[in-house]
Amino acid sequence: MAKKAKKPSNSENDKSIQFIDRGFMPAVILTIIAIISVALLALTEYVTADARAKQIQYMEDANKRIIFTEADSFPAEDLENAGASLEGGNAVDLSGEGSLIQEVFLVEEDGETVGILITANPVGYGGAVGLMLGYDLEGNSVGLTIDASTQTAGLGDRVAKDEEFTQQFSGFNARDNISTTPNAGFEVDVISGATVSSNAVIKGINAANEAVSQMLGLR
């Protein structure tokens, strides 16, 4: 004889009825929760946007604070109009073809401009030498960093590592012409075996000196 189909138990019928009775409410509730969560995430991102942007900018400015340790910010100047934001300064076009100047930044501390930062990339032996130079508003050198990672290891890269060489550039003014010739300006010596890289540093500093002198009206 054929077996009779098993009838659903009362408990199974009860569960089915409960599920049907609930309808779409669970799905609606989950959708509302998801919408609220997304809205809260978006609100959090909006509220913290300025703080995150400032933190990112602070990290990007870390290398600049090697020279100006107390600075709050470093607003960039347009190379075609560098110095225009300086009170009493001159606007100078540093964007010309062949210009060694890459960037110009003002240095602000407690809401006041206290200096100028210049980056330059004179070509050495094997590639450009990255220079960053700081000046106060009288044109006095505040500091200098050199990135010679493109130069020959053990030779050209010594322009960034040899303290006897780098310390020669302490105390110059933007009015000075850095030179290896006695009595021809602010005299320095090149590194033996790294003449091309040494001269690149000198050339970059002189380009920055000229730019700062023009912006500050020192010449």
pLDDT tens per residue across all 219 residues of the chain = 455 555 555 555 555 555 555 566 777 788 888 888 887 777 766 766 565 455 554 556 788 999 999 999 999 999 999 999 999 899 999 998 899 999 999 999 999 999 999 999 999 998 999 999 999 999 999 999 999 999 999 999 999 999 999 999 999 999 999 999 988 789 999 999 999 999 999 999 999 999 999 999 997
Q: What is the DSSP code string of the chain?
A: -PPPPPPPPHHHHHHHHHHHHHTTHHHHHHHHHHHHHHHHHHHHHHHTHHHHHHHHHHHHTTTGGGT-TT--B-PEEPGGGBTTTSTT---B---STT--EEEEEEEEETTEEEEEEEEE--B-SSSBPEEEEEEETT-BEEEEEEE-TTSPTTTTTHHHH-HHHHGGGTT-BTT--EESSTTSSEE--PPTT-HHHHHHHHHHHHHHHHHHHHHHT--
Instruction: Please give the C-alpha separations between residue 118 and each of 16, 43, 51, 75, in angstroms, as whole numbers.
Output: 76, 39, 27, 12
Separation between Cα atoms, residue 27 and residue 167, nearest integer Å = 72
Reading the block at residue 196, the tokens are: 């091309």
Does the model's pTM come out above 0.85?
no
